[in-house]
Structure 1
């Protein structure tokens, strides 16, 4: 193992021209400096200013949806997306067990119950076939509502997550949602710039959520956005993310419990500059994929995860899948010791203490993949 992996780490450091290569870093130029400086000079750096509206408009145009509402982070975006989609306290929400904890947290904030389902080896996201098999096993009906006959709770929604930017099988999931009267809410936190059959992820669900954390394909420092094609839902989401304040020149009236989830103008300024470079970032990431594909060919028992059929991925995080001859943690120790920052996939949600008692389906694929997946450096580079 050692010699071929030494060659791999040497080539990665050569590609990035660094002795230590981070997993994913933001890429800034003078454009970001100019926009943020303009924002600072204007004095409008907080929740009001021209860049918030501009960022929302340009996001909607880029993703092909009618409306985008900018918020403070991706978790807030998913929290509100679930709320405005109709998820209520006590409802169960199908979601993959193999996702970042924010997916479950967002549902929990509403008093809803995460219900974990298995993923597909082809997409790393929800497996539609296994989801339907599970529904047939545990599902029943109460009026028009699908219920979990084991708990008696309504199952309200399905939340697929596009893992590392790779789109899930959205046609199949939409069909399941229609058949069983479920709401599709996309966790598109990692998939800005990814497409399923030519259509941008985040435009399939009733509501969807994006993230612009510092390690995402574009960043606003912290930040997220809610996407929807429903104008009424968009208006409501905007209202409750701005503390549910009734518009007035000076009176502070609030008509329900709202959230102070507004994205500051200074963050939106950074986002506008970043969004201008999206196509370039994606092109650069696809170059990295080509380089890694050649490098991984020389590694025994390792494959590079590639975008599923009918999709175009943003390749947010490059992903290696090891075979069972490897000890994942030994590989991670070696890569990080050699200056190539790498990490495992998240601990599956059903193994986390707060969610260990939640309802779940057969999770055999999740349990198999959790010790085989490694993310490697993925920052865009202009040459490769």
Structure 2
């Protein structure tokens, strides 16, 4: 039995171990901050000096080109944030009103919201203890129990709705086990749209996250590994999908020297040039930033190596994680100590947070279809994130 005294001792021990990694500071050490140590001032100033700050200018094209090359795909389309990237990706991959989309219950709310924005219903499935991402084995079992093949693809026998997509989310930059997921996708004829918003720079068996599905999506929010202030992107090897994404996110305006003609209802989701300039400068630093974040992760692994009752999440064999956020996972019998540890860390000036509220626990998704979520429920009570900024690699 874990007593209050034992919980407090464990919390104090964890605070000491985190301090060994992040060093001393008079101020609160945040969970993750943006860092501007490259050509950001130069490129943004160029936008200001030339007046190209909005939706025209060269930096959007440059950012899209460099991003596609880094992510191992033929095309990228820059947009205003990761949520709209996923919304558009789902829409142009065939998700529509009355469909269902399979996604993990353990994810940020934007994943489920994008499904709803596309007019579909989220269908929640369980996570994997080793990756925190969607569990292919659990999904296979759930599909065999719940789905059948219809003339237009997989159908949920209980609701009668078509299952239009699978959305794996690479939580905290740790790659989902994609190979068996791709097999499921092929067997059930359900396309994969990757939520790679946290995993820029992560790879699975040597291939970048975001390049496996019919489309992938990224986020460049201020807390991500690189930032454009806000911002997101769609990734694909499919030229037709890339053109469709560009058209829909730029108000469906037909190219013309002076005429404004729009051929369908669309969206003004374009990334402004000034934000893309910031992204170009940030992208130049991404390899060294990943190296720094992996050094931080290694320091956590060493600091917590002999701790009984909790472990630091590590990448799986064949995977390469960007370690966007480091995760401490308590053993099942120590779950009740989580809140004491969170309080001790934050009281000590070390920002830490629990994992997101699971999607099926949110009021707007409480009635959504779901599989058995035993692992997700357990992880939600046992995982916290620790300070993970790249600059901490130089902490003493």
TM over 0.5: yes
Task: Give, in whole Å, the separation in 1 of the partners of 2:38 and 2:135.
Answer: 43
CA RMSD of aligned residues (A): 1.2
Look up the SS of the partner of 1:28 in the other structure: coil
Q: How much has 1:12 moved relative to structure 2? A: 3.8
User: For residues 172-183 of structure 1, what are the structure 2 equivalents within 5 Å?
Assistant: 172-183=180-191
Corresponding residue pairs, total = 383
Partner of 1:160: 168
| Pick aligned residue for 2:275 from 226, 250, 267 | 267
User: For residues 139-288 of structure 1, what are the structure 2 equivalents within 5 Å?
Assistant: 139-288=147-296
Q: Deviations over 1:74-118 (max 9, x none)?
A: 001000010111111111000000000000100101110100000
Partner of 1:70: 78
| Pick aligned residue for 2:45 from 1, 15, 37 | 37
Partner of 2:386: 376
Whether contact under 8 Å (2:92, 2:241) holds in the other structure is yes
Whether contact under 8 Å (1:9, 1:338) holds in the other structure is no
| Pick aligned residue for 1:123 from 116, 131, 150 | 131
| Pick aligned residue for 1:289 from 287, 297, 305 | 297
Gaps of 5+ in 1: none
| Pick aligned residue for 1:102 from 110, 125, 130 | 110
| Pick aligned residue for 2:324 from 294, 301, 316 | 316
Q: How much has 1:9 moved relative to structure 2? A: 4.0
Task: Give, in whole Å, the separation in 2 of the partners of 1:91 and 1:128.
Answer: 21
Look up the SS of the partner of 2:192 in the other structure: strand
Whether contact under 8 Å (2:38, 2:282) holds in the other structure is no
Q: How much has 1:122 moved relative to structure 2? A: 1.3
Task: Give, in whole Å, the separation in 2 of the partners of 1:364 and 1:6.
Answer: 29
Whether contact under 8 Å (1:92, 1:113) holds in the other structure is yes
Whether contact under 8 Å (1:147, 1:155) holds in the other structure is yes
Look up the SS of the partner of 2:123 in the other structure: strand
Task: Give, in whole Å, the separation in 2 of the partners of 1:93 and 1:104.
Answer: 9
Partner of 2:66: 58
Q: How much has 1:141 moved relative to structure 2? A: 2.3
Look up the SS of the partner of 1:147 in the other structure: strand
Partner of 1:355: 365
Moved beyond 6 Å, runs of 4+: none
**1:334 and 2:344 aligned:** yes
- 1:112/1:41 CA distance change after superposition, 3 Å: same
Q: How much has 1:298 moved relative to structure 2? A: 4.5
Q: Deviations over 1:22-44 (max 9, x none)?
A: 00001102511111111111101
Task: Give, in whole Å, the separation in 1 of the partners of 2:146 and 2:15.
Answer: 49
Q: Deviations over 1:93-151 (max 9, x none)?
A: 00000000000100101110100000111111111111011011011122141100100
Whether contact under 8 Å (1:81, 1:208) holds in the other structure is yes
Task: Give, in whole Å, the separation in 2 of the partners of 1:3 and 1:200.
Answer: 38
Task: Give, in whole Å, the separation in 2 of the partners of 1:264 and 1:308.
Answer: 37
| Pick aligned residue for 2:16 from 7, 27, 30 | 7
Whether contact under 8 Å (2:18, 2:303) holds in the other structure is no
Q: Deviations over 1:15-70 (max 9, x none)?
A: x7554210000110251111111111110100111100000000001001000000
